[in-house]
């Protein structure tokens, strides 16, 4: 923690806040952001695909059990 961490945000002023935002964004170029978003979308798609396959398998098992009665 630094001394500035103990200062209430309203006492820092806009320039300090903008500086903090700029510091947070440093290192995040458009390419990095695009890559991160692409990876996130791919992971979401993979999860949806797995869920779809799981439900399809479950339905097949239910149908098989129903037809064996």
Look at the pTM and tell me if it is higher than 0.75.
no
Tokens representing 10 are 């309203």
Q: What is the dihedral of CA 49, 52, 57, 62, to 10 degrees?
A: 170
pLDDT value at position 43? 97
pLDDT value at position 5? 57
pLDDT value at position 58? 96
Total residue length of the chain: 69
pLDDT value at position 50? 98
Digitized pLDDT (tens) for each residue of the chain, 69 residues in all: 555 556 655 555 555 566 666 666 666 567 788 899 999 999 999 999 999 999 999 999 999 888 765
């Amino acid at each position: 923690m630094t001394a500035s961490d103990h200062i209430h945000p309203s006492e820092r002023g806009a320039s300090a806040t903008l500086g903090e935002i700029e510091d947070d964004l440093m290192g995040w170029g458009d390419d990095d952001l695009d890559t991160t978003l692409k990876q996130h979308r791919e992971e979401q798609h993979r999860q949806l695909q797995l869920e779809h396959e799981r439900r399809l398998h479950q339905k097949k098992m239910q149908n098989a059990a129903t037809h064996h009665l």
